[in-house]
Every structure is written in structure tokens, then in C-alpha cells.
Amino acid sequence: TTCPYCGVGCNLELHIKDDYIYRVTSPFDSIVNHGNLCVKGRFGYDFIYHPNRVTAPLIRRALQKPGTRTQAFDLSEWRVTSWEEALDYVAERLVEIYRREGSPGLATYLCAKATNEDNYLLQKMFRALFRTNNIDHCTRLCHAGSVVALQMAIGSSAMSNTAAEVIHNDVFIITGSNTAETHPIIALQMKAAVEKHGARLIVVDPRRIEMVDYAVLWLPEKPGTDVPVFSAMAHVILKEKLYNEQFIRERTEGFAEFTQSMEKFTPEYAEAISGVDRNLIVEAARMYASAKNAAIYWALGIPEHSHGTDNAMSLIHLALLTGHIGRKGSGLNPLRGQNNVQGASDSGAMPWHYPGYMRVDEPANAAKWEKAWNVEPGGLNQQLGLTTTEIISAIGAGGVHAIYMMGENPMMSEPNLNHIRQQLEQLEFLVAQDLFINESGAFADVFLPAVSWAEKDGTFTNTDRRVQRVRKAIEPRGQSRPDWQIICDLAQRIEFRLGRPNSAYWGYSHPSEVLEEMGSLVPEYRGVKYSRLEKEGLQTPVWDDQHPGTPFLFTDSFPRGRGKFHPLEYRPAVEMPDDEYPFILTTGRVLEHWHGGTLTRNSKLDDLYPEALVEVHPADAARLKIINGQAVRVSSRRGSIVLRANVTHKTTMGVVFISFHFAEAAANLLTIDALDPQAKIPEYKACAVRLTPAREEELPREEPVTVRGRY
Ligand code: SF4
């Protein structure tokens, strides 16, 4: 099967006795990871058996009303019910709200942890039955800026190359990615590229991450100054005529206006804004431009800004200028975070696109899906839906009244959590479909127990577009059920109540039929069949049943035809440090944990990294009289948390780092909900905070907030 954590998509062998997984290994001939696994893949499976897992449908005892909705972590506040009652109740309430409020009244969060098939079906249910595009998932909170920029510039948002091609790079840039902790197996391949194949690595990052040890150049920029740094590299490439004239002439457009917009981005100007030595910028530009094969790898440090689309665009420009794209070992590679964020996006888990990135506001696309889902002509909603953050903001009269949440946890993952809490309290109806009652599920009216990846069949699509099998290895715990089955059962109940029984098809006997339905309409998945995925998966696009898959993209052209340069301006972060809040907070992941912690904090991984830490540079710590391990209060204009200091050179002066896994010291209580205007992604990577020493007693004592007891 395939690892349920990150987008690398490592292949796993589950060792099972008496329906119990007791060990996880990986075969040496596995194409993605060659037998290597990180700590999460190897040891992070025991959440399946955690006593906090809920394995029976639950309904809240007390009726929750808008404005008085509360969180229920205690099982006594819920009653166990049958699947029939739970699904009937959910169908009844959703249809009632739909009849009263219309399509805008409903929204759903899909899930990058769930399979392609689960995501395809839930978006189908909301589009075909409730006629709403208020459908989104956590890609909005991670790579939305990259997706928008890549779509604007080349018409495709996936990684252009296979991750393992890094050994064919002569030069590669890592930026905004702590690769050794967030994509550890790709980091292994990168280290091998440097040590065994002579590749030269340039790291552009505010933190002294592990990959800096392997780099020939480190450009320690201030958070949010990517546009000046990368545009200054473009400036140098233009001034020194290091660009690829033939590539620009034959494969791009907009070069003249772009060249003009780069005029002011001198290395001196970039140094003044970013703090990066101008000579390093010049050296990096020359090294990248003069390489035979060069690639750029980036993660959330680039798009998670109020100017995230511009940041990603500044990287794309470098590839278009030099022609470092469209070959093995040359390309643009946004490293996707979740195990199936690429697949969930491909499957239509987004408010502006049907599966296959077909715009919902194109009548021809709507007509295609109306036919497939047996919806009357003109029946599908052609208005762009709300994004994750907009859904929460729209809760209230005339806006969103009900949310169906599959595996997401906005009470941990959204910025400015105090605002999210206030909004969820106003909601009329909330359904949570998950394994645990997490911080968001605790607000729900109904809890539908889903299964883990080891208890169901399906497919995940990893960061380099490889569709791989997920296999049912053990029986579902208790009464829990696969997401795809829950959705199909619920959809039929909704159809019946809407007076449209048996309109769309929900009678699938296996997820393979769901993937075939999707592939019949999404050309890139047309040749992806379960029978072809038995051994090692296929990289999309797979145009037909004989097509071998596509390791790297854009050999001859881009999906939009010519690659397009877009003139850029520098815009600073919305909230800059000042006398009151003098530090920049940047957030991210650590190796041992996963996102909101729903899985890893209910696993023995939590013993390896049991509490939240704030990374502070030694010089800043000395000035504030903070010692390593001391309790510290970190405050922003939106909230305040207390956690221990980790005094380290890993962060730069004036910048502090907190991971976002810990509910009891939630980094997102501090972050700002400023959005990128195009991608609507929040600015997680830069806001202003203040640090003050705290007393030991102020440290949070609670266990992770989850339900005690087991059904
Ligand atoms: Fe799983 Fe990612 Fe670790 Fe591989 S690198 S084992 S996919 S978490």
C-alpha cells in the first residue's frame, strides 16, 4: 500500500497477524522510496488502534443552535446511534437547509488524506445534488498560490518532473521547503544528488534548515521577500545575457514587458529588502542560468503569503528565462504536502474546478458533467464557489448554514483561530466524518466514523503525479466505514428526499468503478485503471490504456501554449514587525508530526516530540533574557500562547518559528488571516509577534483534546 502521511507517496508493506498491523517495512525495489521510510511511515500507524478513536456513529444529545454551538470532547455529550439513524438525520437536515437557503447555504471540506475516489464522490454529491461549488480542501492552505501562478504562466500546476530525477540536476534550488523534515525521502535523494552525482544546491530560506549543510550557497532571506530575491536573480540573468534566447522566442510570450518590470530589481535593491548579500544573489543567478540541467523545488514557504502567487511566479520566471523546463532533470517542482493533495485537486476538490481542472464557469464543462451525472441541462451551478477560508467567513444569515467536513480540522489549520471559533459557534449544522473527534469535530452535530487508509481500497496521487494503490489490509474497526461507502449511502438518501431518486449513479461496488467514471471524463486519468496499478502506479497524464505515463512534462509545449511572463511588483507582508510586535513569526511542520495532529498526536510519534516549541535565535534570546527550555509567551494582535523556547541557530535573528501541530499551543491562534488576492491563500509564513518570558505554571498541561473512551 501507500503511506498515508506526506506527498512523497512511499510504498509500504504492512505486516499483519490476527488482523493487527504489528510492523511496517518497505520493499527494496519500491520505485518511489527504494525501501527507505521516515519515522512517520515506519512507526506512525498505531493511531488505528488508539483508544480515542471513535468507531460508532454519534449524535449530539443537546440540540446545537447558531450562536450557542459548543465543543463536545466528552463522550457523555454524545449518544451512539445506528448508521441508518445517523445518515437519515444528516440527509434530512442538509435537504431542509438546502430547501430553505438554496445552494449558497451548504459547503463541504474535502480531504487530501482521503483517496481520489472519496474526494470525487463527495464533490459529485455537493455539485450534482446540492448544486453548489462551495467545495474546497487544504490545498487552499498550502499550494494555492503555486497552483494559480503555474496555471497563469504555463497552464498546469503539477510538479513537472519525477522527484527522483534530482540526480540528473547539475544545479537545483530549494526554497521555502524544509525538505529533510517535510519530504524526508526526497531529501535523501537530494543529498545523494549532491554527494554522489556532483549536483550543486542553492538554498533560499530564512531558516538554517538541514539541507543548508549540503548547499554551496545559502541565501538567508527575511520571510516574505522572495519576489525581490528571485526577481533580482532574473535581473542579473537579463543584464548578463545569460537567458536562453531561443527558448524565449519559441516558447514564451510577454518577455518585453517582463524585462521592463525587472529593471528595478537590482541585487542592491533586493539586498536592502531581503537582507541577502547582493553577491550571493549574483552568484546564485549565474550558477542556475549556466547549468545544463537545473530545477527548482519549493514548498509552502513560497505560496503561504498574501503575495504567494507573485512569489511562485518569480520562480517560474527563472525557468522560462533559462529554458530549464521540459527535460529530464530540468523543471519546476512544487513539493505537495499531503499524501493525496495532488489527487484531491485532480478529483475536483476545489471551488472553481470540476475534476481535471475544468473551470466550473465554462458552460461547455458544465454540460459535460451534467451529462455524466444525469443532471438536467443548465442544472449545475456555474458560479465559482467559496474557498476554505471564505466558507468560514460566510457562516451566518444569507451565507453558509451547514458544513460537511470530511477529515479536515479548520480549528487547527485555519489562521486566526479565535475568529474561526466564533464563526463555527454561529453555524447551524455541522457533520464531521473522521477517525477522531478533533478540535473541529467537537463542534459537530453528527460524527460519522470513517476508516483509516489500511482499512479501505482506493488510490492516492503523490507529489510527482504517480497514482498508486491503497489496499484494504485489515477489517474496519468497530462500525467504522470507508468514506466512499458513507458518501454513496448518504447521497441516495438525499436524492430520495429531493424527489430525484436514482438520478446520479451511486451504486458502485468497488472504488475502481469510481476511478473509471472519473477517467472517462478526465483525459489525464483515462488510462489509469486498477489493473495497471498493481505493481507500481502510473504518472499522469496517462492518455489511454496503452500509455505508459509521463515522468516529466512540457517537452514540446505548455498546456496553455506559450509560457507567459507576468510583470511583478514587490508587496511586503501585510503585518510587518514594529516596536510593539518586533519579531516575524513563521510556521511549519516538524518531522515527527502531521498537520493538526489528529493522527500523529494519537500515535507513539507523540512521545518522540511531545510538546510545542518556539525556535528563537541565541542573540534574540540573550537580549530577552530567555534560556533554552524556558517557558515563553508568544503574542500577536490576535492571540497568545505559552510554550518552551528552543534557542537555536536554525532560525535567523528577528525571526521565530513555531510548528502548527499542537492544539494546546496552537500557532494559528497567532497567524493572520490576510489572503492572497488571487489564490485566497492565508499568510501563514509572516506575521508580527512579541516574546516575553513566562512562568512554568503558564505552560499548557492538557492532553491533546480528544474523546476519552472507546466505541
Ligand atoms: Fe511517508 Fe512521506 Fe515519510 Fe515517505 S517520506 S514514509 S511518504 S511520511
Any atom of ligand 1 within 6 Å of the Cβ of 187: no
What band does 703 get if pLDDT is binned at 50, 70 and 90?
Answer: low
Grid coordinates representing 522 are 478526465
Output the residue whose Cα is nearest ligand 1's atom 6.
41
In this predicted structure, what is the pLDDT of residue 706? 46
| Nearest-CA residue for atom 1 of ligand 1 | 41
Residue 503 is predicted with a pLDDT of 87
Which pTM does this prediction carry? 0.95
**How far is residue 150 from each of residues 44, 144, 311, 315, 559, measured CA to CA in Å?**
33, 10, 11, 10, 11
pLDDT tens-digit series, residues 107-125: 999 999 999 999 999 999 9
Ligand 1 atom showing the smallest separation from residue 26 Cα: 6
The Å distance, Cα 466 to ligand 1 centre, comes to 14
CA of 7 to the centre of ligand 1 (A): 7
Residues 67 and 540: their CA atoms lie apart, in Å, by 46
Q: Which atom of ligand 1 is nearest to the CA of 42?
A: 6
* Closest ligand 1 atom to Cα of 183: 5
Atom of ligand 1 nearest to the CA of 12: 6
Q: What gap in Å lies between CA 411 and CA 438, rounded to an integer?
A: 9
State the pLDDT at residue 632: 98
Least Cα distance to 47 among 438, 519, 414 occurs for 438
Average pLDDT for 247-270: 98
The grid coordinates listed for 355 are 475534476
In this prediction, residues 503-520 reach a mean pLDDT of 96
pLDDT grade for 439, boundaries at 50, 70 and 90: very high
For residue 38, the ligand 1 atom closest to its alpha carbon is: 3
Nearest by Cα to 113 from 568, 612, 596? 596
pLDDT band for 353, please (50, 70, 90 cuts): very high
Q: Is the CB of 12 under 6 A from ligand 1?
A: no
pLDDT band at 707 (very low <50, low <70, confident <90, very high): very low
With a 6 A CB cut-off, is 37 part of the ligand 1 pocket?
Answer: yes
Nearest CA to ligand 1 atom 2: 6
What the block records as the C-alpha cell of 630 is: 524556558
Greatest alpha-carbon span in the chain: 71
Q: What is the pLDDT of residues 6-30, one digit of tens each?
A: 999 999 999 999 999 999 999 999 9
CB atoms within 10 A of CB 672: 22
Average pLDDT, the chain: 96
The answer to whether the bond into 351 is cis (omega within 30° of 0) is: no
Give CA torsion, residues 233, 234, 240, 244, to 10 deg.
130
Residue 634, pLDDT > 60, answer: yes
Q: How far apart are CA 179 and CA 296, in angstroms?
A: 13
> What share of the chain in percent tops pLDDT 90?
95
Nearest to 487 by CA among 161, 83, 5: 83
Residue 605 in contact with ligand 1 by CB distance below 6 A:
no
Q: What is the dihedral of CA 665, 670, 675, 679, to 10 degrees?
A: -20
Amino acid 502: pLDDT = 81
**5 touches ligand 1 (CB under 6 Å):** yes
Q: What are the phi and psi torsion angles at 248 (to 5°)?
A: -60, -45
What integer is the mean pLDDT of 265-282? 98
3-state secondary structure of 304: coil
| Residue-wise DSSP of 308-357 | HHHHHHHHHHHHHHHT--SBTTBEEEE---BTTHHHHHHTT-SSSEEGGG
pLDDT for 708 equals 40
Distance, CA of 56 to CA of 58 (rounded, Å)? 6
Residue 239 has pLDDT above 80, yes or no: yes
| Burial profile 496-505: b = 16 or more Cβ within 10 angstroms, e = fewer | ebbeeeebbb
450 alpha carbon – ligand 1 mean position (Å): 22
Q: Which residues pair with 204 in a beta bridge?
A: 175, 219
Residues 138, 140, 143, CA angle at the centre, nearest 5°?
100
8 Å CB contact between 57 and 450: no
pLDDT at 705 over 80: no
Q: How confident is the model at residue 711 (pLDDT cuts 50, 70, 90)?
A: very low
- pLDDT of 702 reads 58
Residue 6 alpha carbon, nearest atom of ligand 1: 2
Give the pLDDT of residue 142: 83
Rounded Cα gap, residues 88 and 86, in angstroms: 6
pLDDT in tens, 556-596: 999 999 999 999 999 999 999 999 999 999 999 999 999 98
